[in-house]
Amino acid sequence: MENYRLDKKMLVQDWPAILVLIIMLLAGVIIYPYLPEKVPIHWNAAGQVDNYGSRPFGAFMLPYLNSWALFLNSWALYFDVSPTFGRPPEGKLF
- The CA-CA-CA angle for residues 8, 74, 78, to 5°, reads 105
Q: Is residue 94 part of a domain?
A: no
Q: Is residue 28 part of a domain?
A: yes
pLDDT tens, residue by residue, 50-81: 999 999 999 999 999 999 998 887 777 666 56
Question: What 8-state DSSP symbol labels residue 37?
Answer: S
Q: Is residue 24 part of a domain?
A: yes
User: What pLDDT does residue 13 have?
Assistant: 78
Q: Is residue 86 part of a domain?
A: no
Bridge partners of residue 54, in order along the sequence: 38
> Which position has the higher pLDDT, 13 or 78?
13
Considering Cα of 56, then 27, then 76, then 85, what sign does the dihedral take? positive
- The CA-CA-CA angle for residues 84, 87, 69, to 5°, reads 65
Residue 43: domain span: 8-78
Res. 22: pLDDT tops 70:
yes
pLDDT tens, residue by residue, 24-33: 999 999 999 9
Q: Is residue 1 part of a domain?
A: no
Amino acid identity of 92? K
Angstrom distance (rounded) from CA 29 to CA 22: 11
Q: How many domains does the chain have?
A: 1
Q: Are 92 and 77 in contact (CB under 8 A)?
A: no
pLDDT tier, 8 (very low <50, low <70, confident <90, very high otherwise): confident
> Is residue 42 helix, strand or coil?
strand
Q: Is residue 27 part of a domain?
A: yes
